[in-house]
Amino acid sequence: MVQQGGQVLNKQAQNNALWAKKNAQEQFKKAYEEGNADEMTKAQELLSRATLAEQQSPNIAATLQQQVAQSLPQQEMQAAQPDPDMQAWSQKIPGLWEVKLYIKK
Using CA atoms, how far residue 78 sits from 17, 48, 70, in Å, is 45, 49, 20
pLDDT along the chain (105 residues), means of 10: 74 89 95 96 94 86 79 69 77 61 53
Q: Which of 5, 3, 49 is nearest to 24 (CA)?
A: 49
Percent of the chain at pLDDT > 90 equals: 31
SS3 state of residue 59: helix
C-alpha dihedral, 16 to 19 to 25 to 29, nearest 10°: -140
Q: Length of the chain, please?
A: 105
Per-residue pLDDT, 63: 82
pTM, full prediction: 0.55
Predicted pLDDT of residue 95: 61
